[in-house]
Amino acid sequence: MKKEMDQDLLWCEDCKKAVPGDCTLHGPLQHLPDRPVSPRAVKTAPKVIEILPITQADDDAVGTAVGAFATCNIPARTCFGPFQADTVSLPPQVGPNRLLLKRFQAGKECGYLDVTNDYVCNWLIYVRPAHHHAQINVIVFLYKDEIYFCTSRMVPVQQELRVWYSDEYSRLLGVRPEDSQGKAPVRPLCLFACKF
C-alpha cells in the first residue's frame, strides 16, 4: 500500500526525507520567485505601436487608462488584427476606456469579446474608443467572422489610435447610424454606468 506524502512537510534532497519546516541539518530552502510578466496584450503590439499611460492632459481619460500610440506615421488603410479575446455569453463590464465588441458568425451574434483581460487579449484591447467624431482614426469591422481594426486616415507619430465602429458593424450592434457617421457625439456603447 502506497503511503501518501504529508503536504505540510518540506522535502530535503540532502537528507532524502520530508521534514517539518526547515531542515535542522541543512537549513532553509532558498526560494526564488518568478519574474513578473507583462500582460500578453502589451507584448503583441507591432513595432509601429507603443502602449503608454494616458496623461492627465487628456480630459476624456478615465481612471488609470493606457492607450495605443503610433511610433511612426501609420498610413490610412493599415489593418490590424484580428482582435484576440475569449468569447463570453454575457457582455463584459466595459467603461469609457474599452470598446464593447460582439462576435458574429455568418451574420448571427454568438457572444461578446471579453475585453477585460490583458493576459488573454492582444494589444487591440488598448485602442480606446473615440468620444467624438474628430478623434476617430481607426474603425472596427468584421471580415470572415473576425474583428479587425483599420486606420481611417493617416495616424501621425505620437498620436493615439482612437476607434469607432464601421457603419456595417454599427448596424449589427444596434448603435444609432448617426453616431457612426459623426452627426451626433460619438460615445462608447456602455451597458453599465458610464459617466458621460
Residue 60 and residue 111: Cα distance in Å, rounded? 28
The predicted pLDDT at position 57 comes to: 55
- In tens, the pLDDT along 158-189 reads 999 999 999 889 888 887 644 444 443 344 43
For the segment 85-137, what is each residue's pLDDT rounded down to a tens digit? 999 999 888 878 888 999 998 878 999 999 999 999 999 999 999 988 899 99
Kindly report the number of other CB atoms within 10 A of residue 58's CB atom: 13
What pLDDT does residue 193 have? Answer: 31
Q: What is the pLDDT of residue 120?
A: 94
**pLDDT for res 56:** 58
Can you give the pTM of this predicted structure? Answer: 0.73
The pLDDT value recorded for residue 111 is 94
Q: Please give the pLDDT value at position 180.
A: 46
End-to-end Cα distance, the chain = 67
The values of phi and psi at residue 91, to 5°, are -65, 135
DSSP string covering 146-159: EEEEEESS-B-TTP
Higher local confidence (pLDDT), 25 or 37: 25
